[in-house]
Structure 1
Amino acid sequence: MPASYPAAFLRAVGRTCRFVCLGAALGMATGVNAQAAVVASLRPLGFIAAAVADGVMPVEIVLPDGASPHDYALRPTDALRLKKADVLVWVGPEMEAFLSGSASSLPAARRITLASLPSVKPLLQKGGEEVHENHGHDHDDGGDDGHHHGEYNMHLWLSPTIARRTAEAVHDRLVELMPEKKQQLDDNLRIFNALLTKNDKNIAIMLALVRAKGYYVFHDAYGYFETYYGLTPLGYFTINPEIQPGAQVLHKIRTQLVEQKATCIFAEPQFRPAVINAVARGTSVHIGTLDPLGMGIALDKESYARFLSQLANQYVSCLEKNT
């Protein structure tokens, strides 16, 4: 810039540049994604959404890997992401309490609350202190054959049947938003369902060898998956993973481990409580890990199928061990 320009003019230009540069930097830091996006509360819901929205709209996840929806606190960047979301996909306030405020501030047309969908509500399972009875490998995945204290099991993404309903709901909402993309969205939904059908058969074959083996899980999260594939859970340590079981419960579990000849106890990557090691000590029970949130699995058209296959492998890797 020529030196002959007045000093006051140069200072004004400098101030303008600083404001523009600062605004750009803040935009980069806080503008999570300027383009249209589907925001999923949890990674497995993101797997389903990513399959349907493939090539149409990006998908973002709120809950980071390693965190639990039971105790997560929303960050400012999360709140901004939700504010900008074209569609939020979540289970509902019973599961993601951390999202309740942000979700309720979104117009109804911009959120999909899975637990409230008419196609999903009849499939909700109840649960509680008693594990639901094993009714074999039936694929209706519904019914109230569990015994919770009037509360539904909200780990809906572990049901392949509810996953299909979720995919349909995301498809229908995106068609409303982007009718010009209907053909691609139709194709994506068809591919998702076909892949799920193929994957389902493979998982059923994998799990057939261990379906009769008893086990305990740390956290009452797997009822949909267990019922769908006819597994034989003996019980669980806690409904809420934030609450450690008491001495009386642990004694009862240890007694059942021995008397019912349980093969495994499963922990989770998000929760590795010392009580599992303590209860299993001195028994022949193996300790395995189940990941109900699909940590580290990348989002793409096949990620939900990979997630279910990974979970099935985690069951098999422990249950197939000789006891």
Structure 2
Amino acid sequence: MKSTPALLLASTILLSSPAWAEAPNVVVSIKPIHSLVASIMQGVGEPSLIVEGGASPHTYNMKPSNAAALQAAKVVFWVGPGLEAFLDKPLDALSGGAKVVELSEAPGLEKLKFREGGAFEPHDDGDEDHHGAEAGHDGHDDHAGEAEASDEGGHDHHHGESEFDMHMWLDPMNAKAMAAEIEKTLAEVDPANAAAYKANLDKLKQRIDTLDKSLAETVAPVSDKPFVVFHDAYQYFEHRYKVRVAGSITVSPEVLPGAERISEIHAKIADLGATCVFAEPQFEPKLISVVIEGTPAKSGTLDPEAATLESGPDLYFQLMENIGASLKSCLASAD
């Protein structure tokens, strides 16, 4: 059978066209970080996700399939042992040459000290910056809410539990810093696709800047209304957008509050005039109805770890937009 000129031409084009380099095997711990990695890898490959569906990194148990994925990984992205404690030992046990990147150590992050005991002190209305991290706005000890810019990269997950609040992605500027570290890592591990990673990073940064502006506009009308959250995961969002979290039901999602704590929270909701109390989809919703009973507070839902969202490049934006919209909807309805 003779080759036609068209077939010869097509064969020549295929042979002469540069083939996409095979993407590295990338594994990511949680949905918000996976979304950023997936955005950087668009058009090149898809990262694997460990904590899928509605599971929480605070209570997650490793599966055999997760262990197998880690052993086959070229790169592993996680926030750090202060959030995904379940990953600390498995990462130590990796036998391959995987590059492990702890994104809580990414250069340029603004890191806020972890708050202990729940934020239950009323704000000082005379303090113009009582929402800012440096102001220690919730009455904790002097180091609470203190901002620190990280200027060192690298990975060392042997330092134990972090002194910093690990929900760092809830400030879009931190998401940009994490994205830059993700792009840098992928370009080093996979230089053949470095140009694609860089182009995707540029697009992602522009999209995050647009998101940041939109969120500021969304929550501005309700930023002075106090509210209570299920667990203390939102201070990065507070610090960025100057919203007013009056307290948390439990700082640690692993430990549910007892009757005395619930009674204290109930009283504080009334004292502080909290407009809304927000549940989270991963945890016990009955607590919310218990603590708001007999108060004028309304209930809502926030999802800081994207338990209800489908993983992928758009998830981070849906997560942040949903938080802004939920705050505005509940707080505005309480007028």
TM-score by shorter chain over 0.5? yes
Match of 1:156 in 2: 168
1:229-268 matched pairs, under 5 angstroms = 229-268=241-280
Residues 83 and 102 of structure 1 are in contact (CA less than 8 Å); yes or no, is this contact kept in structure 2? Answer: no
Instruction: Name the counterpart of 1:110.
Output: 99
Partner SS, residue 77 of structure 2: strand
Aligned to 1:37: 25
- Relative to structure 1, the CA distance from residue 138 to residue 167 in structure 2 (aligned partners, 3 Å threshold; closer, same or farther) is farther
Return the match for 2:209 from 185, 197, 202. Answer: 197
Alpha-carbon distance between aligned partners in 2 of 1:295 and 1:259, rounded to the nearest angstrom? 32
Shift of 1:168: 0.7
Query: Is residue 61 of structure 1 aligned with residue 49 of structure 2?
Result: yes
Q: Distance in 2 between matches of 1:67 and 1:276?
A: 20
1:186 aligns with 2:174: no
**1:143-200 CA distances to partner (integer Å, 9 max, x unpaired)?**
95528x9832111222212211110111001111121222211111111110011111
* Alpha carbons of structure 1 residues 296 and 254: separation in structure 2 relative to 1, 3 Å: closer
5+ residue gaps in structure 1?
1-33
Q: Distance in 1 between matches of 2:245 and 2:132?
A: 16
Amino acid at match of 1:43: K
Contact 1:192 1:301 in 2 (8 A): no
Determine if contact 1:52/1:192 at 8 Å carries over to the other structure.
Answer: yes
Shift of 1:225: 1.0
Task: Give the alignment's Cα RMSD to 1 decimal.
Answer: 2.7
1:280 Cα deviation from its structure 2 partner:
0.9
Q: In structure 1, what is the Cα distance between the partners aligned to 2:202 and 2:107?
A: 21
Match of residue 175, structure 1, among 166, 183, 187: 187
The unaligned stretches of length 5 or more in structure 2 are 1-21, 135-141, 147-160
- Alpha-carbon distance between aligned partners in 1 of 2:204 and 2:143, rounded to the nearest angstrom: 27
Distance (whole Å) between structure 2 residues aligned to residue 288 and residue 218 of structure 1: 10
Cα distance between partner residues in 2 of 1:254 and 1:243: 18
Contact residue 130 and residue 146 of structure 1 kept, 8 A:
no
SS of equivalent residue, structure 2 residue 173:
helix
The one-letter amino acid of 2:86's match is: F
Q: Conserved in 2, the CA contact under 8 Å of 1:39 and 1:62?
A: yes
d(CA) in 1 for partners of 2:308 and 2:291?
Answer: 29
Is contact 1:128–1:146 with CA below 8 Å preserved after alignment? Answer: no
Q: Hey, what's the Cα distance between the residues in 2 that align with 1:139 and 1:296? A: 29
Change (3 A) 1:256 1:68: same
**Does the aligned pair in 1 maintain the 2:56–2:307 contact within 8 Å?**
no
Indicate the SS of the match to 1:123: strand
What CA distance in whole angstroms lies between the structure 2 residues aligned with 1:298 and 1:138?
32
Query: Which whole-Å CA distance do the structure 1 matches of 2:227 and 2:83 have between them?
Result: 25
* Contact 1:54–1:300, Cα closer than 8 Å, also in 2: no
> Percent sequence identity over matched residues?
33
Going from structure 1 to structure 2, the CA distance change for 1:150 and 1:179 (only over 3 Å counts) comes to closer
The question of whether the paired residues in 2 share the 8 Å contact of 1:137 and 1:228 is answered with no
* Conserved? CA contact 2:23–2:190, under 8 Å: no
Q: How big is the shift at 1:299? A: 4.2
- Closer, same or farther in 2 for the Cα pair 1:297/1:37, shift >3 Å? farther
Distance 1:167 1:150, change over 3 A: closer
> Normalization by structure 1: what TM-score?
0.81
Secondary structure of the residue aligned to 2:230 is: strand
Q: Is the Cα contact below 8 Å between 2:73 and 2:98 reproduced in 1?
A: no
